[in-house]
Amino acid sequence: MTLLTIDGLKMYYRSDDGYVRAADDINLELERGQTLGLVGESGSGKTTIARSVIRLLPDNAEVIDGSIDFDGTEITELSERALRKQIRWQEVSMIPQNAMNSFDPVYTVGQQIVQVIRYHEDGVSKKEAKDRGRRLFGELGIDPDRVDDYPHQFSGGMAQRAMIALALCLEPKLILADEPTTALDVVIQDRILETITGMQEEINSAMILITHDISVVSETSDRIAVCYGGRIVEQADAETIITNPRHPYTLGLRNAFPDIGDTDTDLVSIPGTPPELVDPGEGCRFAPRCPFAVDECWDVTPQPEEFDDGHIVECHRADEADELRERAEQKETWEEVRERPSQPQGAGGRR
């Protein structure tokens, strides 16, 4: 059963130079209990897309078009109050990248858990709320007595677990995990990720896992969407994205991380910088960095095209995927892009 449907969403930021098209023509679906991996570089729009679900966006963000249907509720038309009271944390919670900084330093973790429980659930006493926090701490492998500690008394990994406790305390239907392990030690990363998915299954909530690291989502997600330049350039079930990607950007991403695909290939990063999102004009946004770009790519914006069941790609050469995949594994292919005379870019800095 579908929990979340994003349909044709255009979420732009106003700026002095015009709209920044942070999320452009987004279409996504998420089933209950499922995990969606949202992969992309920084500035690709993945965070904007995820946060649109709870409208946790800067003041200058504006929904230009499209809809977000969460469990039958139209998010874009919801009042601030209703959004706060019914959606945020009650239905959709969040695990941020940096747990340490995401706790208010002047209150204990327990106080912050109690605060959010008591705000959203009527008639819960402080003690009950705190007990729930202690139970969660226990389940997450933290000494329950530490609910009375201040955030700065926790280590990084512990703080992240405490944050998970906070995220789960209302048993939400959806968890937005925004790079939840990036700030952590590699050794702890996996354990935290396991903890998250374990708990997620236990309370049967869905999750959007945002990361720039495709290897993270490959293991935990049911479905993966790849973002580039404010658009979702390719989405499919996890298996398909890993084994049979069709978009050159996905190919490039795959190369950038060692554990996927052939282990003996060299690590190759995608040369160039993410595109300018103010008034990007016609043409594929990846074209300037794409080793396979042809004239059509520069002039015509590719439209989503469905291949196998649910495998949607925005690329003019998606049907040549098999050939491109082979070439993409060669380091030289990407090096060429670097030497190519760069296409003129818009003036001014990025947002």
Which of 124, 127, 156, 3 is closest to 69 using CA atoms? Answer: 3
Residues of the shown chain interacting with other proteins in the complex, contacts defined by CB under 8 A: 15, 54, 56, 58, 60, 83-85, 87-90, 93-94, 96, 98, 101-106, 115-116, 119-120, 150-152, 166, 351
Considering the complex, state which of residue 104 and residue 194 has its C-beta at the smaller distance from other proteins: 104
CB of 104 to other proteins, least distance (A): 5
CB of 97 to other proteins, least distance (A): 8
CB of 304 to other proteins, least distance (A): 30
Considering the complex, state which of residue 95 and residue 321 has its C-beta at the smaller distance from other proteins: 95
Considering the complex, state which of residue 57 and residue 256 has its C-beta at the smaller distance from other proteins: 57
**Backbone dihedral angles phi then psi of residue 12, each to the nearest 5 degrees:** -110, 155
Token pair for 67? 């809809």
Considering the complex, state which of residue 27 and residue 115 has its C-beta at the smaller distance from other proteins: 115
Considering the complex, state which of residue 40 and residue 96 has its C-beta at the smaller distance from other proteins: 96
Considering the complex, state which of residue 76 and residue 90 has its C-beta at the smaller distance from other proteins: 90
Token pair for 165? 């406790």
CB of 160 to other proteins, least distance (A): 13
Are 164 and 196 in contact by the 8 Å Cβ rule? The answer is: yes
CB of 15 to other proteins, least distance (A): 6
CB of 167 to other proteins, least distance (A): 9
CB of 19 to other proteins, least distance (A): 13
Considering the complex, state which of residue 54 and residue 142 has its C-beta at the smaller distance from other proteins: 54
CB of 116 to other proteins, least distance (A): 5
Pairing of strands 2-15, 61-70: antiparallel
Considering the complex, state which of residue 104 and residue 295 has its C-beta at the smaller distance from other proteins: 104
Which of 206, 350, 205 is closest to 276 using CA atoms? Answer: 350
Pairing of strands 312-313, 305-306: antiparallel
